[in-house]
Structure 1
Amino acid sequence: MSTESARPTAVAFGTGTSVLTVITVQLLAFSISFSVGHPELYAVFAILSAGALAFAAGRGTFGILAATLGTVLLVALALPLLMLVARQNPAALLSSATNPSVQRALFLSVYAPLLSALASVALGVPLAVVLARGFPGQALVESLVDLPLVVPHSVAGLAVLFAFGQGGLLPRAKVLGTLFGMVLAMTFVSAPFAVNAAREGFERVDSRIERAARTLGANEWETFRRVTAPLAARSVLTGGVLAWARAVSEFGAVAIVAYSVSVFYPPAMERVSGVQHAPVFIYNTFLSSGLEASGSVATLLLVLCVGLFVLVRSLAYDRGGWP
């Protein structure tokens, strides 16, 4: 093998090894600080180590300052999650993991958001294409797309009931307390993520490439399918993942529209009633059983979400093109 062909592998290996080393050191530092009962020591260590790494990489004064200050926010985001996992009782985790009610809640919290994300992408991509190409009054439409991002969650749930419930746009559809209503509520709050991410992807596609395809005889649909869509595929996938994640985290709208639902549960091969979305289930568990029981369910949901994110990245993002 030539030196040129081996070099990218060596660089990638070195980078991966460095990242793994940093992660290992950070986890070790957190474990030590947590075991001695002073997690604040880890926060100090993480911030100082970020500045030291920037200094070792020769980033200069600005780079060191940026890395240090940026790590302050990173620690504020990561430390609560680390503490959530670290403070769990293994016995309580095992008990929650084997609890059929918890299993059904976790299943619903993957299944319903997946339906919502698929709906957001299926309906959001055409709108994203139109927005990317521009039209008169586009600012108004973009404002309407972004409006669910600023609407309070409880208001979103009420709006969904008024719009699609009894006397609404779907008079024959049962919305309140159904899986359909839950998916509607999730789609309402998560669709902007799918639309905006896809729109940004289509805007980055070079129009000259599309014109070249048209001059070679491809019609508009073929140009979109074979040129535009593959080039924007990662953005579309990102939008779908963000929409799914937003739907998983939804509490207020779901609690109002579909507090508990009946859903077909594959492990039992039957329809099960009274299943709650995990955030609603965790809140009820906190009220009825306290911090330890709700924390174990929250940890299971966190691990499940992280695992799915890693799976999506490994199967789609790192390969390029259509996922």
Structure 2
Amino acid sequence: MAIKTETRFGDGTVGQASLVTAFIAIQLLAFATAFILDRPTWYAYFMIGSTAVTAYALDGSPFTVMTATVGSLLMVALGLPLFLFVARQSPSLVLEKALDPTVHRVLYLGVYGPLLAAVLSLLLGVPLAHLLAEGFAGQQFVESLVDLPLVVPHSVAGIIILFGFGQDGAFPQLSVLGTMVGMVLAMTFVAAPYAVNTTREAFETIDDRLTYASRIHGANRLETFRRVTGPLAIRGMITGGVLAWARAVSEFGAVAVVAYSVSFFYPVEGSVVRAQHAPVFVYNTYLGGGLDESGAVAFLLLAVSAFVFLVVRYLTDSDTIKGGMP
């Protein structure tokens, strides 16, 4: 029997939405006040204290108050630098960078290149994820290879790509160093584990009885995948692709080693242009122009990445994507 936990303010959706809105508004007001007074430490204390008070008001349980308070410490570490980063941007400098054609190319490449890596990770990773979910002899070795990029230093990942696919590598005819192909390979190397592992977890949550029923009714393994397990795992695939894309967007070390600057077709200008991956460009801007200029470019990259991420999340929400047999 499920046990329903009642909060002091009930569990109505409208009431909860109002509380969340009020809490966010108070946080924004408190941060703005602390920022104007140049006392960001005050806001850190306020966030921790207000979280504890809110947890007590909503639940009243000492355990809930304790966990919320401890969790707020991490939120301070994650949120406060982001809030200060956004608040300290110069609007004029951000606008200047937003109108710079060079930055346009960088932002386009910063979305387009990772998208190619995410698609490649899914195309090659979904079949492997399905095999891992079913299990096979030597699976632990394959899982270790899949997870290895998660612990390999970023610059080492780039060196590995050059040894594997560069000159005297597996495909000598494939141009990797300083090319779009090399950039996508470097991104795929570090992003593929997210696509494979997330998709595998989605396959593992599917009830085996559904697969069994499909096979009993005469469907072969391919038809069962196409009509049962594939549709049921589609949200996991999309989530894995989004995570792989996000990981590729943030990659610096491997891309800097393999493809510091690449040529690609830029549809806005209708010609082939040359640019750097966004994190590499931000780093070079920091070295050449300082914190303010690099912060403006980083702000634009953050805004574009967050927009794409939120749009994809919205389109793949449970109310939009429903797994099941067609």
Please give the range of the TM-score, normalised by the shorter of the 2 chains. over 0.9
Q: Larger helix proportion, structure 1 or 2?
A: 1
Q: What pairs up with 1:107-118 in 2 under 5 angstroms?
A: 107-118=108-119
Measured against aligned partners, the alpha-carbon deviations of 1:274-297 in whole angstroms (never above 9, x if no partner) come to x00010000000000101000000
Task: Name the counterpart of 1:171.
Answer: 172
Partner of 2:289: 289
Local SS of the residue matching 1:268: coil
SS of residue matched to 2:174: coil
- In 2, Cα distance between the equivalents of 1:208 and 1:252? 45
Partner Cα separation in structure 1 for residue 83 and residue 270 of structure 2: 36
Taking the aligned partners of 2:17 and 2:59, their CA distance within structure 1 comes to 19
Q: Is the 8 A contact 1:121 1:195 kept in 2?
A: yes
Deviations 1:177-230 (A, max 9, x none): 001100000000110011110111111111011111222232221211121112
Please list every run of 5 or more consecutive structure 2 residues that lacks an aligned counterpart in the other structure. 1-10
1:107-132 Cα distance to aligned partner (Å, 9 max, x none): 10000000000000110111100101
Report the equivalent of 2:317.
Answer: 317
For the 8 Å contact 1:164–1:170, the answer to whether it is kept is yes
Moved more, 49-58 or 113-122: 49-58
Provide the residue aligned with 1:280 in structure 2: 280
RMSD: 1.4
* 1:157 has 2:158 as partner: yes
> 1:271 aligns to what SS in structure 2?
strand
Instruction: Give, in angstroms, the shift of residue 322 of structure 1.
Output: 5.3
For 1:222, the aligned partner's letter is: E
The reply on whether 1:53 has 2:75 as its aligned counterpart is no
Contact 2:315 2:321 (8 Å CA) reproduced: no
**Counterpart of 1:182?**
183
AA in 2 matched with 1:277: H
- Distance in 2 (CA, whole Å) between partners of 1:79 and 1:231 is 38
Which position in structure 2 is the counterpart of 1:148? 149
Unpaired segments of 5 or more residues in structure 1?
Answer: 1-9
Partner of 1:251: 252
- Percent of aligned pairs with the same amino acid: 56
User: What does residue 303 of structure 2 align with?
Assistant: 303
- Name the SS of the counterpart of 1:244 in structure 2: helix
Contact 1:115–1:183 (8 Å) recurs in 2: yes
Number of residues of Structure 1 aligned to a counterpart in Structure 2: 313
Question: Aligned partners of 2:95, 2:160: CA distance in 1, in Å?
Answer: 39
Q: Deviations over 1:242-270 (max 9, x none)?
A: 10011000000000100001111111111
* Separation in structure 2 between the aligned mates of residue 205 and residue 54 of structure 1, nearest angstrom: 35
- Supply the AA of the counterpart residue of 1:93: V
